[in-house]
Structure 1
């Protein structure tokens, strides 16, 4: 979910053609979760193979990634590592929401309310160990690199963009700005929809808000992050005003009516400003393993052979145009 910064950012719209030749770090958990919530059957249940295994994520990764590569866009997936201890409460709250949604989904399905069933079913999606591991296996067979973070995937993705190993981070979460990503692409999708794809520039945001990076993080702490609840009644705009006047969280709590548990403020700042990151990673794209891909997707998970071969061909055709390492 991340910090609620929609009201204080001023994104620009961006079209897919503008990403031609760009390398993007993709918040894997964020994107895979989107596939799990959107790629579903009419009653809201996820796509499955004949053995009952969920395949929505495999479908999304295979066909979207192959299309991106065909469009000369280079995605590098970044997976979460071990979450900070401070995130435990947020994780537990999300589990409770999913349990509640599961009960509502079953009730709606029982009474034949397809619309509600689909809505609540999407909220029950979970990134299980099996889903994450099968996603990594698919990427390996496709020859698409991925990086496993030490902690938060957004922190690693932002770091890679800051090092110019990628042009932007693909994620729905504004947290990427707090981790220092120079550009964040939201509403990332290949198909037309009611949502325009948008890009947020960190420097433009800081300039418009007249804040430093640390002050932006402090504003987020006042609003509430995945690592703290924030101050009751403080939204993004109020937080910015408070930081402008009092400069940091400690001064706000000392000089205003607002209160929160301030014992973890320094620790939360450290998570965003100096996160644990993987400094050494391999971003080499390799040729897809066609036979193994066909066995994995069509043999193990009942994908359509013609459609799968077409997707693999997109990657292979790009490989054939030039030396793969030079191209990427």
Structure 2
């Protein structure tokens, strides 16, 4: 998901306390995928209830979000709207990858190869309509703000930051940078130690932040040139050019005035309209001046949804809800009472 330009981006490791008191526009689909891929069993299968329904996504929403709010963060969840026509080919390719990965996962489970099963399980994850509806219901019951994007969630979240209705976009996708989101926070959904596939080694996952203006200044690029790099290595709207990674793409765009000039220097051609892709990032399809609405938590509804319907532990759910409703010591109002 998104464009693979992370190797070029210098980020700042941060503690969540740095974001205390700030509204963060969370790319909802992106963070739900994080929950689905990280909250899984040893065999790669996601968390499920007694009926076999996947619950990893709603578990993450409750427990991770309660921790964010306890840290003083004010989350706003921005959900994707209908995809653009340019993205349909990418979505179809992802479906094919998931189908193949699911077959490989089941085969690995049968063979007792749990390492491979878990690796394939991450690729087999899908976020369907029912899961999204459940996420909406869970968040609304908790009284947390939801924004429906016109198209791409990270672009709509970026618009909230541009309009100063939020401090930063929270997403794993670097597409937010291409869309011009002023500040981006990564690793909001999952932190801690993560095991590397097929290796007895772990990496520490911490929240990190970057500012688009600083990134462009450090790389000596314009916004358009940054978009061209994305186009060369692949975005949600176009295929990558083979044998070109982020560093080679950076060299290719330096000093160039147009994408046609970039392609000429690489002696490459593309089968799409570059200007159309540029436009998707320079002027993303978003709603303007969206109102962020916060409502009161319906505790009984939350407990009925999590405990009665999905079999979550009542004590754990109650503890999470207490975090959401808890009054921070340094504020006169609750963490949910002021959104801005």
Find the counterpart in structure 2 of residue 143 from structure 1: 143
How does 1:77-156 map onto structure 2 within 5 Å? 77-156=77-156
Contact 2:182 2:212 in 1 (8 A): yes
Aligned-partner Cα distance in 2 for 1:191–1:173 = 16
Contact 1:288 1:312 in 2 (8 A): no
C-alpha displacement at 1:67, in angstroms?
A: 1.6
Find the counterpart in structure 1 of residue 170 from structure 2: 170
Aligned-partner Cα distance in 2 for 1:327–1:134 = 23
C-alpha displacement at 1:136, in angstroms?
A: 0.5
Find the counterpart in structure 1 of residue 283 from structure 2: 274
Q: CA deviation digits over 1:270-299, x for unaligned, max 9? A: 110111111243323322101111111111
Structure 1: runs of 5+ lacking an equivalent: none
Find the counterpart in structure 2 of residue 53 from structure 1: 53
Query: What's the Cα RMSD here?
Result: 1.8
Contact 1:288 1:315 in 2 (8 A): no
Find the counterpart in structure 2 of residue 206 from structure 1: 216
Find the counterpart in structure 2 of residue 265 from structure 1: 274
C-alpha displacement at 1:218, in angstroms?
A: 2.1
Find the counterpart in structure 2 of residue 36 from structure 1: 36
Pick the aligned partner of 2:233 from 223, 235, 239.
Answer: 223
Pick the aligned partner of 1:315 from 324, 331, 334.
Answer: 324
Q: Does 1:239 align with 2:249?
A: yes
Aligned-partner Cα distance in 2 for 1:173–1:327 = 25
Find the counterpart in structure 2 of residue 69 from structure 1: 69
Find the counterpart in structure 1 of residue 201 from structure 2: none
The 3-state SS of whatever aligns with 1:42 is coil
Q: Give the direction of change, closer, same or farther, for the CA distance of 1:316–1:151 in structure 2 (3 Å limit).
A: same
The 3-state SS of whatever aligns with 1:318 is coil
Normalised by the length of structure 2, the TM-score is 0.91
Q: Give the direction of change, closer, same or farther, for the CA distance of 1:256–1:102 in structure 2 (3 Å limit).
A: closer
Q: CA deviation digits over 1:170-219, x for unaligned, max 9? A: 11111000111111112224643222321111011110111111221122
C-alpha displacement at 1:169, in angstroms?
A: 0.9
Higher mean C-alpha deviation, range 184-193 or range 122-131? 184-193
Contact 2:252 2:266 in 1 (8 A): no
Q: Give the direction of change, closer, same or farther, for the CA distance of 1:65–1:101 in structure 2 (3 Å limit).
A: same
The 3-state SS of whatever aligns with 1:233 is coil
Aligned-partner Cα distance in 2 for 1:219–1:115 = 34
Normalised by the length of structure 1, the TM-score is 0.94
Structure 2: runs of 5+ lacking an equivalent: 194-203
C-alpha displacement at 1:327, in angstroms?
A: 6.2
Contact 1:144 1:285 in 2 (8 A): yes
Find the counterpart in structure 2 of residue 290 from structure 1: 299
Contact 1:287 1:316 in 2 (8 A): no
C-alpha displacement at 1:117, in angstroms?
A: 1.6
The 3-state SS of whatever aligns with 2:252 is helix
The 3-state SS of whatever aligns with 1:147 is strand
C-alpha displacement at 1:91, in angstroms?
A: 1.1
C-alpha displacement at 1:108, in angstroms?
A: 0.9
> Greater share of helix residues, 1 or 2?
1
The 3-state SS of whatever aligns with 2:78 is strand
Contact 2:67 2:323 in 1 (8 A): yes
Q: Give the direction of change, closer, same or farther, for the CA distance of 1:296–1:197 in structure 2 (3 Å limit).
A: same
